[in-house]
Structure 1
Amino acid sequence: MFRPGREKHQTEPREVSASNVAKLSNKLKAILKKKYQSPPGGETENPFYIHCDLQYPPGESGEGNQHEYIQIEPTYRKRHQGTCSPIGLYFDSEIGNERVRIALTKGVSGIGKTSQVRMVILNWAEGKGNQECPLLFPLPFRELNLLKERLSLIELLHKFFPELKEPGISNLENFRIWLIFDGLDEFRRLLDFKNSPIVTNVTEASSVPTLLTNLINGNLLPSAAHIWITSRPAAVSRIPLQYINEVTEIEGFTDYQKEEFFRRAINDTDQANAIIAYLKYSKSLYVLCQIPIICSICALLLGRQTFLFDKECYPRALTPVYTDLLALLQTQNQNTQEMAIKLGKLAFKQLVKGNTVFYEEDLRECNIDVQVAAAFAKVNIPIFREDIGLHQKKIYYFGHTTIQEFFAAMWFLQSCNSQEENLRNAVDMALQSKNGKLDLFLRFLLGFSQNFIQSIAEAGYNSSETLTEVVEYIKKKVMENPASPRTLNLLNCLTELGDSSLETDGVHFLQTGIPPDAKYPRAHWSDLAALLVASESGPIDMLGLEVKKRGDKELLRMLPVIKASQTATLSNCKLGLELSRALAVLLIDNPRHLRELDVSMNDLGDAGVELLMDILKSTQIYKLELYCCQLTEKCCENMFGCLVNIPSLRELNLSNNNLKDKGVKMLCNAFGLPACQLEKLIVASCGITLVRGFHFNSILKELDISRNHLGDSDDWAEVLFCLSSLETLRLSDCKLTEKCCGVLVKALSSNLTNLKELDLSGNDLGDRGVKTLYMGLTSRCCTLERLFLRCCGITVKGCSSLALALKSSHSSITELGLMGNDTGEEGLRILSDIRDNQRYNLQTLEIND
């Protein structure tokens, strides 16, 4: 929970007449209840509203350097987990002798800030929440813009609530009041906290910005006022951080809530499911559907279309969706085309100024008749809206800021003399924007330049052809600085233009390490590849990074790729202790995505693995590859903790490390604990010489202890007896002889009833060993399907024993490997006849010709 600043308790306010306060409070509740009972925007706007939780964003505040709709993409940030209730909001809580005086809620346009405010106000008016504050005054910033005169705080409140002049608002400092300022981003005047005159008296007249700064900094009503401010992210920095006690955020719909919305909004279940599937294919639209109003627009438009369930969907650009909205509007209003041009001019002029709400003088400046605008705003399609503010003055705004950016782009393109030159200028303008306010405008602008948008022509507007030079110009800008905050939007712009070549080149570089274009440095291609991978929604698979083509510095640059990956293959990357530390730090930030990690053939050593093991305990890792990492028995203590503390771990490869008997026995101690759920263990070539004391768990499905000098031992019976769930057993090159075959026969006939694959290659079993195995292979309990006896000293006699086993009615062997044995032509003939005979199960035979 983010609490940058706190106020100490002041002296308790003096007692005032309880009856006077109650009378004032009841009258105010009646006023607010009447005003806020209807949904925002009327009954037709967003009738399927689903509550969006407030989130606590730890340590985050201030202005970002991205357009707010880039900020909600998965590559930019992840959802916060902590939520708070909007009904008992903020001001009930205290920590020690500190209390929350000023709270700020941020969120992108249309995410539900005003709806949240309305809900809290209505709850208070109906007596459901925050009753410890007898007075609650909503003071929207868009209406504060209308007050140009000097006035006191009391006079300001009377402007908003003239009904309260009798009994009168006085003695505000004597009891707790709640002031709600909604829409800081809509306030057009400067808040000068450094040079603002000091005001301490509620009856002292001053300008509205001066009253606001003195309320926020605590000069005015320091102990009585509780202040709640809402804002879009870009405007948060207008208030110094030290004055804000609590910061929360509305992050919009979760994926589950998106689907719930469409199932409520679309009556036909199949149509709703088709729309949800379609949106998931269109990444940009699906991300924007975190915003309730965007869901409303998509439901309105896509609900009218027919989806073919057997036809693959392709990601769709944003511009056609909004063009369809405009075309739909034209069916309801014949003056749409002329009005759209004027609204476009208004949208562009105000977008450049950073304004999202407008007043009558703004409309007149663009030759828009107020009466025509009022009629246009009454259409139930959420394009343009009109509200009544203070003194019955009208306030105008587009249904959503994306609609304003769409209209601005449409007007800008139509007003251009040279489209190509102006498009380049628009690209440069967007790149120079510090907070990305023109990013979506640029995307729409480029979308309009595409000749594949046929619906724009149907709506009566001219569409332009694809400008190849502009595409190349954008690609050049991307590759000059792929790490720029603007890069992701430029890639979105290329998608809008139907060009995915740069993305294809970036993925190719990720897979091969070869720069597709030698004009740009390898480091730039690394940055681009990292961005492309990180921008995917949810976890992805990352292919291996070849050591011959990548150095330490480049590998460090690719860490964002690993952070977004579900599968990370970093084998043979010269991953030493320094890079292990960097990888460990990365996994701390994103432990949940990673499911498979391969760091084989790197000089990690025991110290490097210790770093990784400490971090992996907080992950959901499924598969871990540590083949040939210069490990010794010293690391096995950490590996024991890994097995016990990571119940998700199912596969572990420790081959070609000098673990020795002591190290492997230490690992075996974990198998008796319920937390260890390992199903696959590979400890080939680990310097093991004894099997005594090895106690593997009963759920192990695959065990590979090949290339260890184990030899024949009576202890094999005890080891095999524990492996009742085993499906694959590899014992190649373990110095076994015919003596061990009797133990294997007993196991195959009793507890190894699930075994499907057995590899005994490279052991001196000979024909006598194979003859002993025959008894186990013909057992009713044996379910073996794959048997490998390569280089085992088998001759034609052994082939005859195997033939008898293969012909048995109980044999289920489909694959037999005998390469490297002196089986001769007769052995080949005997076994080939069985393979070619459909009466038997054998299908694959590996044998010397």
Structure 2
Amino acid sequence: MKKKFECIFEYDTKTKILLKKIYTQLYITEGELKDVNKEHEIMKIDKDFTVKKSEGKQINCNEIFSLSEENKENKVVLTKGIAGIGKTVSVQKFILDWAEGEANQAIDCIFLLPFREINLIKDEEFSLHELLQEFYPELAKVNETDLYEKFKLAFVFDGLDESRLPLDFSVRKVRSPQKKASLNALITNLIEGNLLPSALIWITSRPAAANQIPPEHVSLFTEVRGFTDKHKEEYFRKRILDDNDASKIISQVKKSRSLYIMCHIPIFCWITATVLQEMVVQNDGEEIPITLTEMYIHFLLIQMRIKNQKYDEKEERDIRKLLKINREIILKLAKLAFNQLIKGNIMFYEDDLRECGIEVSVDSEYTGMCAEIFKKESVLHEKQVYCFIHLSIQEFLAALHVFNSYLNKKMNELQFFFKDHSPIEVSLYVLLKKAVDEVKSSENGHLDLFLRFLLGISLETNQKLLQGVLPHTELPKKSISSYIRQIQNNSSDLSPETSINHFFCLMELKDDSLNNQIKKYLCTDKFPDRKLSSSNCSALAYLLLMSGDVLEELDPKKFNPSYSAYRRLIPAVRCCRKAL
């Protein structure tokens, strides 16, 4: 908030520098594609932050509220993007540019309201002004009439997938900022435009949770697609200051197709740079990880090594011994991660930590874990809360807890997956199937990445990396093979998000069957009657977009004449020289 009032929303110098270096792209997905063969020029705000329209035109993210062809304001903008793709950073960059006077100066006040902090507010009735004071106590000094009637306001709701509110749009109408109502009623009436109809709203979400907002209430749909190939290389060169080291790492990343594709996710680029800087540069070419799970395991190992050196003043290079030394605190954090993930919590209090055996005031082990895995934050009214450095870290550790509980036959820890009964013992296949069922039933997709990590940890190679934390147990490979067949033979028509997540699950299991099948369909005329399922069409489009492959020609109807199916291939038009 600035201009007429004291500045409430501020960034320190370190945050400003960080945001100036971030490369993030938003791709506008507004309506149907038009004139798909037309070449569009690129418009950039600067080299750092761009938005891309569905037909391929890059535009300034700071203009998301004014992109309407009729020159009207977009009252409500909904931005979706997968975990770690840069949604929150996009929001921060938008507000930073506004606060520094570089963009959107017609807006007088911007209120950032992250859902993860909204979750901490007790369920009681507030007026809008009282709710805002929970986040910005300085508003108590502001004249309410001036604020809501004379000034242009914008509200940013970050992380819809993290919300524990029902977001029921059938609640009673609220039209006055002074009228008390539930949190759900205040937020839904803001989005609908009943409350402060001139206010601008920006909502970010993971894809699976985005459908909680009825499309009729959204003026513009956008999607964060992450780094382009050019941005990936630029990121590594900025992150790793030594040019030779940066070149080594870029070369290693490009050797692994799956790794290179995943590096379009900024958080994954950060973790990859951290891991490869040690493995490629310091260890001179140790075999590099190529899956998400492998990368996160190595990231955990590096953090344990740093902890031992910095806080315990010990040098331990043996992986098994390193994990064994830190096994207790890792498993405590893993239990915390899972217990809170299934509750939908990503911020915790000291009581939550104590339930898992972590005493932050006396636990010396905790201090070392804080650096890049776990942190303490001050939120509403300077309340002290705790969270993992990124939600994906919580999801990885949650999967580790589940797998460790399975190996140690602690079925009481797995009751979440067996609500109807308490089995004494189950096969790995049954556990994975139960986990898949839970993911399917999740309305906001908050278990998608957890499932990928769980499958990844089930591989024998990853269990060997985790020896010292996990007990050594011979698991039948038949369970994994059976699960792979289940994914391959899944004939039900899945949503694009679910089918893409299944594709990623196969990648975590190092199974290239779907990828090879799609390539065969693309590269040969031996299958005149070929027909991809709708889910495979989604996977194909995603594969082509992220791989950078260029097709000579794409005719979506060749793969499936069904409108709902071939329509899912349309985004791949950007990856072909000619489209029919």
Determine the C-alpha separation between the residues in 1 that align with 2:104 and 2:341.
37
Aligned to 1:415, which of 405, 423, 435?
405
Q: TM-score, normalised by structure 1?
A: 0.52
Determine the C-alpha separation between the residues in 2 that align with 1:430 and 1:122.
40
1:438-497 deviation per Cα after TM superposition (whole angstroms, max 9, x unaligned): 443333223333333476346544354453211231233134326754666556545544
Determine the C-alpha separation between the residues in 2 that align with 1:412 and 1:504.
31
Determine the C-alpha separation between the residues in 1 that align with 2:346 and 2:142.
37
1:495-530 deviation per Cα after TM superposition (whole angstroms, max 9, x unaligned): 544555787788789999999xxxxxx989999998
Q: Structure 2 vs 1, CA of residues 256 and 376 (structure 1 numbering), >3 Å: closer, same or farther?
A: farther
Aligned to 2:266, which of 292, 317, 321?
292
| Mapped pair 1:134 → 2:108 | yes
Corresponding residue for residue 28 of structure 1: 6
Determine the C-alpha separation between the residues in 1 that align with 2:218 and 2:533.
40
CA apart distance, 1:390: 0.6
Determine the C-alpha separation between the residues in 1 that align with 2:94 and 2:23.
12
Following superposition of structure 1 onto structure 2, how do residues 242-641 of structure 1 map, counting pairs within 5 Å? 242-306=216-280, 316-333=290-307, 336-371=326-361, 376=366, 381-416=371-406, 417=408, 421-431=427-437, 433-434=439-440, 437-453=446-462, 456-457=465-466, 460-465=469-474, 467-481=476-490, 485=494, 489=501, 492-493=504-505, 495-497=507-509, 535=543, 537-539=547-549, 559=559, 593=575
**2:172 match: secondary structure:** coil
Q: Structure 2 vs 1, CA of residues 458 and 367 (structure 1 numbering), >3 Å: closer, same or farther?
A: closer
Corresponding residue for residue 169 of structure 1: 144
CA apart distance, 1:399: 2.5
Amino acid corresponding to residue 549 of structure 2 in structure 1: P
| Mapped pair 1:57 → 2:47 | no
Q: Structure 2 vs 1, CA of residues 421 and 221 (structure 1 numbering), >3 Å: closer, same or farther?
A: same
State which structure, 1 or 2, has the greater radius of gyration over its C-alpha atoms.
1
Amino acid corresponding to residue 424 of structure 1 in structure 2: V
Q: Structure 2 vs 1, CA of residues 437 and 501 (structure 1 numbering), >3 Å: closer, same or farther?
A: same
CA apart distance, 1:142: 2.1
Q: Structure 2 vs 1, CA of residues 466 and 234 (structure 1 numbering), >3 Å: closer, same or farther?
A: same
Aligned to 2:173, which of 198, 212, 228?
198
Corresponding residue for residue 58 of structure 2: 83
Determine the C-alpha separation between the residues in 2 that align with 1:87 and 1:591.
26
The answer to whether the 8 A contact 1:107-1:249 is kept is yes
Corresponding residue for residue 159 of structure 2: 183
Corresponding residue for residue 234 of structure 1: 208
Determine the C-alpha separation between the residues in 2 that align with 1:281 and 1:421.
36
Q: Structure 2 vs 1, CA of residues 371 and 253 (structure 1 numbering), >3 Å: closer, same or farther?
A: farther
The answer to whether the 8 A contact 1:200-1:219 is kept is yes
Aligned to 1:101, which of 75, 88, 105?
75
CA apart distance, 1:276: 2.0
Q: Structure 2 vs 1, CA of residues 163 and 378 (structure 1 numbering), >3 Å: closer, same or farther?
A: farther
Aligned to 1:143, which of 117, 122, 129?
117
Determine the C-alpha separation between the residues in 1 that align with 2:376 and 2:567.
51
Determine the C-alpha separation between the residues in 2 that align with 1:303 and 1:80.
37
The answer to whether the 8 A contact 2:537-2:569 is kept is no
Amino acid corresponding to residue 187 of structure 2 in structure 1: L
Q: Structure 2 vs 1, CA of residues 487 and 102 (structure 1 numbering), >3 Å: closer, same or farther?
A: closer
CA apart distance, 1:302: 0.3
Determine the C-alpha separation between the residues in 1 that align with 2:364 and 2:130.
30
Q: TM-score, normalised by structure 2?
A: 0.74
The answer to whether the 8 A contact 1:427-1:442 is kept is no
Q: Structure 2 vs 1, CA of residues 56 and 346 (structure 1 numbering), >3 Å: closer, same or farther?
A: same
The answer to whether the 8 A contact 1:140-1:182 is kept is yes
Aligned to 2:188, which of 210, 213, 220?
213
Q: Structure 2 vs 1, CA of residues 264 and 385 (structure 1 numbering), >3 Å: closer, same or farther?
A: same
Amino acid corresponding to residue 468 of structure 1 in structure 2: K
Determine the C-alpha separation between the residues in 2 that align with 1:363 and 1:159.
25
Determine the C-alpha separation between the residues in 2 that align with 1:119 and 1:382.
22
1:761-817 deviation per Cα after TM superposition (whole angstroms, max 9, x unaligned): xxxxxxxxxxxxxxxxxxxxxxxxxxxxxxxxxxxxxxxxxxxxxxxxxxxxxxxxx
Determine the C-alpha separation between the residues in 2 that align with 1:52 and 1:318.
20
**1:147 match: secondary structure:** coil
CA apart distance, 1:277: 2.7
Aligned residues: 515
Following superposition of structure 1 onto structure 2, how do residues 768-847 of structure 1 map, counting pairs within 5 Å? none
Bigger helix share: 2
Corresponding residue for residue 770 of structure 1: none
**2:427 match: secondary structure:** helix
The answer to whether the 8 A contact 2:115-2:160 is kept is yes
Corresponding residue for residue 609 of structure 1: none
Determine the C-alpha separation between the residues in 1 that align with 2:192 and 2:517.
53
Determine the C-alpha separation between the residues in 1 that align with 2:189 and 2:533.
50
Amino acid corresponding to residue 206 of structure 1 in structure 2: A
Corresponding residue for residue 776 of structure 1: none
The answer to whether the 8 A contact 1:91-1:226 is kept is no
The answer to whether the 8 A contact 1:53-1:84 is kept is no
Q: Which runs of 5+ in 2 are unaligned?
A: 33-52, 309-324, 410-424
Aligned to 2:130, which of 132, 150, 155?
155
1:636-658 deviation per Cα after TM superposition (whole angstroms, max 9, x unaligned): xxxxxxxxxxxxxxxxxxxxxxx
Q: Structure 2 vs 1, CA of residues 357 and 308 (structure 1 numbering), >3 Å: closer, same or farther?
A: closer
**2:267 match: secondary structure:** helix
Q: Which runs of 5+ in 1 are unaligned?
A: 1-21, 61-77, 516-521, 543-554, 561-577, 596-615, 620-849
CA apart distance, 1:119: 2.3
**2:387 match: secondary structure:** strand
Determine the C-alpha separation between the residues in 2 that align with 1:238 and 1:528.
22
Determine the C-alpha separation between the residues in 1 that align with 2:134 and 2:538.
51
The answer to whether the 8 A contact 1:324-1:455 is kept is no
Mean Cα displacement is larger for which, 345-354 or 430-439?
430-439
Determine the C-alpha separation between the residues in 2 that align with 1:300 and 1:458.
22
1:704-724 deviation per Cα after TM superposition (whole angstroms, max 9, x unaligned): xxxxxxxxxxxxxxxxxxxxx
Q: Structure 2 vs 1, CA of residues 178 and 289 (structure 1 numbering), >3 Å: closer, same or farther?
A: same
Corresponding residue for residue 314 of structure 2: none
CA apart distance, 1:79: 7.4
CA apart distance, 1:104: 2.2
Taking only aligned residues, the RMSD between alpha carbons, in angstroms, comes to 4.5
Determine the C-alpha separation between the residues in 2 that align with 1:309 and 1:207.
56
Q: Structure 2 vs 1, CA of residues 140 and 478 (structure 1 numbering), >3 Å: closer, same or farther?
A: closer
The answer to whether the 8 A contact 1:54-1:251 is kept is yes
1:152-174 deviation per Cα after TM superposition (whole angstroms, max 9, x unaligned): 12222233222232354334123
Q: Structure 2 vs 1, CA of residues 81 and 474 (structure 1 numbering), >3 Å: closer, same or farther?
A: same
Amino acid corresponding to residue 296 of structure 1 in structure 2: W
CA apart distance, 1:303: 0.5
Q: Structure 2 vs 1, CA of residues 89 and 461 (structure 1 numbering), >3 Å: closer, same or farther?
A: same
The answer to whether the 8 A contact 2:135-2:380 is kept is yes
Corresponding residue for residue 724 of structure 1: none
Determine the C-alpha separation between the residues in 2 that align with 1:374 and 1:391.
27
The answer to whether the 8 A contact 1:350-1:356 is kept is yes
The answer to whether the 8 A contact 2:116-2:346 is kept is no
Aligned sequence identity (%):
37
Q: Structure 2 vs 1, CA of residues 82 and 356 (structure 1 numbering), >3 Å: closer, same or farther?
A: farther
**1:28 match: secondary structure:** coil
Determine the C-alpha separation between the residues in 2 that align with 1:181 and 1:589.
27
